[in-house]
Chains A and B, each alone.
Chain A
Amino acid sequence: MAASEDSKGEVANGAAMAAFLGAGIGAFAMGLMVILNEAGLFAAPALYAPAGGVSGRTTFAALIWVIGWVVLHRRWRGRQIESRRVHAATMLLIGLGVLLIFPPVWKLL
């Protein structure tokens, strides 16, 4: 597995940007699953009863992460992507995701 190079011999950053933004999407999905569950709007079913709802929430978030990453990877691999905006979007999504899993935040609901 190696990074692809463009005609100038520069390494296209698309696959890396897809991985980073995909991780941001996954983090946000985790936060969204938690806040929707706490707000009573959507409760992911327990996929493993002894673990309860966390098994469903985490599995759903992980699926969204994988799907988001695969879609982005297919579109961006081999391409040079403007990294500043991807960096900002990734940090924003991670920040929101982490904020939404924080109990003091969803206890405000």
Chain B
Amino acid sequence: MDTMLFTGRSLWTMIHGMALGGGALMGLAAALFSVRAMSAANASDTAAQRESRYLAWLTVGVAVLLWLTVLVGTYITFPPYRATPPEGLLDLSRYPRSLIQSNPGTAWLHGFGMELKEHAPWIAAMLATAVAFVSVRYRSKLLGDARLRSMTTALLAICFLLVSLAALLGVFINKVAPLE
């Protein structure tokens, strides 16, 4: 008898959480480190231009990954999560939201965790897009301007915290009620 290792739903969950969200989180960490570690007293310096080009591509990649994460999360993995089970069904394993809410000990994962996950990553995607735009438009000037760098760092840090929190809650939810 053939046994499917992964269903389509679980594959999409992995794409959403590990490939896209995980990739964005790694990219955010790298961008945050880079924007602090790199500094350019002379913006026309060749090395500074090369570094800022890498940073620009990195931030664009992060923004793209975050938008793909929120779109896949909202429109592909969230609908089966919130599907309503038929009346009287006892086995709720294919209905994660109902399964989580059926146990008082895990109900917070929906009431707090999923409610937060529905919106926080969208804010992160907007912030990452602003950072990517500034990195591309200003290139090496970004590394030489203290105020621009500090605002970029602040937005990247907020982004990193929001995505980390959403990812952690996603792990908890998937542990209790995986989308299979």
Task: List residues of A whose CB falls within 8 A of some B CB.
Answer: 1-3, 11, 13, 15-16, 19-20, 22-23, 26-27, 30-31, 34, 48, 50-52, 54-55, 57-58, 61-62, 65, 69, 83-84, 87, 90-91, 94, 97-98, 101-104
> Is A51 in contact with B75, judged by CB distance below 8 angstroms?
yes
Partner of B136, one of A1, A84, A87: A1
Q: A87-B147, A101-B119 are in contact. Are A11 and B141 (CB under 8 A)?
A: yes
Q: How far is the CB of A107 from chain B (nearest CB, A)?
A: 8
Q: A3-B137, A16-B148, A30-B123 are in contact. Are A103 and B116 (CB under 8 A)?
A: yes
Q: A16-B138, A16-B148, A103-B116 are in contact. Are A91 and B126 (CB under 8 A)?
A: no
> Is A58 in contact with B141, judged by CB distance below 8 angstroms?
no
Q: Report 13 cross-chain contacts, Cβ distance below 8 Å, ordered by A residue.
A: A3-B138, A3-B139, A11-B145, A34-B119, A48-B75, A54-B118, A87-B150, A94-B123, A98-B120, A101-B116, A102-B116, A103-B111, A103-B116
Tell me which of B122, B134, B150 has the highest count of chain A C-beta atoms within 10 A of its own C-beta. Answer: B122
Q: How many B residues, CB 8 Å from partner?
A: 36
> Is A23 in contact with B130, judged by CB distance below 8 angstroms?
yes
Q: A11-B141, A58-B74 are in contact. Are A101 and B151 (CB under 8 A)?
A: no
**C-beta contact mask, B99-123 vs A, less than 8 Å → 1, else 0?**
0000000000001100110111011
Tell me which of B74, B120, B151 has the highest count of chain A C-beta atoms within 10 A of its own C-beta. Answer: B151
Q: Which residues of B contact A90 (CB under 8 A)?
A: 151, 155
Q: Is B158 an interface residue (CB 8 A)?
A: yes
Q: Is B18 an interface residue (CB 8 A)?
A: no
> Is B148 in contact with A13, judged by CB distance below 8 angstroms?
yes
> Is A3 in contact with B126, judged by CB distance below 8 angstroms?
no
> Is B78 in contact with A54, judged by CB distance below 8 angstroms?
yes
> Is A23 in contact with B119, judged by CB distance below 8 angstroms?
no
A2 to B79, CA, bound (A): 41
A57 to B130, CA, bound (A): 20
Q: How far is the CB of B115 from chain A (nearest CB, A)?
A: 5
Q: A3-B137, A15-B137, A98-B120 are in contact. Are A103 and B151 (CB under 8 A)?
A: no
